[in-house]
Every structure is written in structure tokens, then in C-alpha cells.
Amino acid sequence: MIKNDLYLRALKGETVERPPVWMMRQAGRYLPEFIAIRDNYDFFTRCRTPELASEITVQPIRRFGMDAAILFSDILVIPQAMNIEVEMKNGVGPWLPNPIRTAKAVDEVVVPDVTVELKYVMDAIKITKQMLNDDIPLIGFAGSPWTILCYCVQGQGSKTYDIAKEFCFTQPVAAHLLLQKITDTTIAYLKEKVKAGVNAVQIFDSWGGMLSPVDYQEFSWKYINQIIEALKDDAPVIAFGKGCWFALEEMAKSNASALGVDWTITPQMARKFAGNKITLQGNFDPSRLLSPPAEIKKMVTKMINDFGKDKYIVNLGHGILPNIPLDNAKAFIDAVKEYK
């Protein structure tokens, strides 16, 4: 049994004394103990070494005592497992030297045996579970098929993902085949993560907001929904689409346990669009963690009051930034723990 099960109870929509809190990207670059590891090991070595990944996962828990841990990994381990080369370049971020831009290239993409290609992730989960000692739940995650396609086709991060969108709009058959291969791999991957011990899974649709509402349904949501349907009986699934407030009504009809929202929508509007039935997670602007700690505490309390304490998970509207002072991150977590 998980000793602190606030997060899991909130996912079920149960009445809680206070909402649970964790932060996207909490295991990472704003922490001095993470930077010490980063200075000695390159990015994918950290992801692929179970002992390092598990140590990074628990670092923020030791320091701040969040209500859930999220496994340190990356969404791009999926394309790597699918035989697509992915590097992490300093100053550039993700870099794919051979982007997928033709039907022939899509045909060559494999749906791997995740138990072999991504065994290191499952090993990291097992070690992390031992380290957490059932104190709090562990979250596993994957990128949405659309977000993974964006990197695979564009070849790197982008403000517009114009090449990825052009590929979808001019070669839809190839695009849907690639999206389905990513979806099949992701379902197998997340099922293995649950078997290895994660208590919930989150799907990150970081670039969903790049699509129009109509294109979002065709190229993103229907694949996310396939993943939700495949996982719903195994573990709670949280769907987070950055910039996708326009799809909340449709997303709320799914079997997701919760929906993540970013900071570009008010709590009241998010509740209205999502129909007040489903648990929501978010939506503090990560840059607002640069405000003075006393102000952060006031804003977090107001955010909880606006969402309501039940069917709500306190989080940021996207990942924590690297330049956030530790005292400010602590103020964010403490504000939730002190909530009355």
C-alpha cells in the first residue's frame, strides 16, 4: 500500500483534505544535486543508467516532499527504440540527423520489442520503487504520438513544426502510418512500465497546440485516445496537451483519469470546458515561480480555491524552468501542504 495516496485519490475523484502536488520536470535542471550528476554524465547516459535515473527521480522528493515522483527519462527514448537516431546537442536540444520525411522512411521504422529495447527504463522503475519504499506513487510517462512525430519529421525542436505539419498535410497516409507505429510502441511501453511498478502514466502532448482544432482531432487526439483506451484498465492515465484548451471538452469524454492544463486558461474556464466531472491538473505559469516566495504562496492558494480542492492536482502549466530559485520551488510545494 502507498502510504501517501493523495495523488491516487485525487485521480479517482475522491474527497481529499488538500489537493496533491508535484511539478512537471521536478527531477532536473533547477536542482544543484541534479547538476552535479549532469556534469559527469551526458543526457542519454543518465536516461539509460537505471541507478542514475532512479537517483535523479528521488532527488526532489528528498528535498521538497512532493506527493508523487515522476520517473526521470525522456519522451525521445521511444523513437530511439524504433531505430530512429536521436542525439541531445548542447545549445540545440534534441537532434535527429536522419529525419523521417518519406513513405519509404516510414516503412523502415520498426515497432520494437520494448522489453528488450527499453529494459533500462523498467530497471530504473524497479530501483526507484525500492528507493521510494511505497511512501508516494511513481508516475511513468510518454510523449503523445503527434509530439514524437514532430521531432521525428522536423529533426529538431521548432517554433512552428512547419515541416512536420507539411508532411502530415501532403503525405497523410505515411503520416498516419508513422503515428500508428508510434502509438503501438507507446502502448506496449506504458503497459510494461505499469508491470514494472508505476502507479499512473501521463501522456505529454507538448506540441498539440501547434494544430488547429480540426487537425488536432485527426493527427493527435485519436492516437492519444487509443493509448488511454489500451491503458485504462491497467493504471490511471493523465492526458496533458499544452495549448490544447480548445480540446478539453472532447478530452473530458474519454476514459482518462485526469487532464493537464497549461496557464493560458483560467481554472473556471477549464472546469467549464471539461464539464466539472474529471480531475484537472495544473496550471501555474512556470515563470511565475520567479515571483517572491510570499507572492507564490498567495497565488497557489488562490489557484486551489479557483479549481476547488477536490478532483484537482496542483502542478505547473508546463515543466519547471532551470533558473528557478530553490526557495521559490519550496514555497510552491509548501503552499499546497499548508492549504486549509
Which residues are known to be catalytic? 25, 29, 38, 74, 151
Non-local CB neighbours of 91 within 8 Å, separated by 6+ positions: none
Q: Which three cell numbers stand for residue 278?
A: 474529471
158 assigned to a ligand binding site = no
Q: Which three cell numbers stand for residue 81?
A: 527504440
CA–CA distance, 135 with 129 (Å, rounded to integer): 9
CA–CA distance, 340 with 326 (Å, rounded to integer): 24
Enclosing H/E stretch for 271? helix 267-274
Residue 251 and residue 241 in contact, taking contact as beta carbons nearer than 8 Å: yes
CA–CA distance, 306 with 253 (Å, rounded to integer): 22
151 assigned to a ligand binding site = yes
Q: Which three cell numbers stand for residue 73?
A: 527519462
Non-local CB neighbours of 226 within 8 Å, separated by 6+ positions: 183, 187
27 assigned to a ligand binding site = yes
Non-local CB neighbours of 116 within 8 Å, separated by 6+ positions: none
Q: What is the DSSP string of 285-306?
A: -GGGGGS-HHHHHHHHHHHHHH
Q: Which three cell numbers stand for residue 114?
A: 520494448
318 assigned to a ligand binding site = yes
Amino acid at 43: F
74 assigned to a ligand binding site = yes
Q: What is the DSSP string of 210-234?
A: GS-HHHHIIIIIHHHHHHHHHHTTT
Number of H helices, E strands in the chain: 17, 9
Residue 79 and residue 96 in contact, taking contact as beta carbons nearer than 8 Å: yes
Nearest one of 284, 201, 200, 210 to 247, comparing CA atoms:
210
**512500465: which residue's cell?**
193
157 assigned to a ligand binding site = no
65 assigned to a ligand binding site = no
CA–CA distance, 313 with 333 (Å, rounded to integer): 12
Binding positions = 25-29, 44, 74, 151, 206, 318
Binding positions for substrate = 25-29, 44, 74, 151, 206, 318
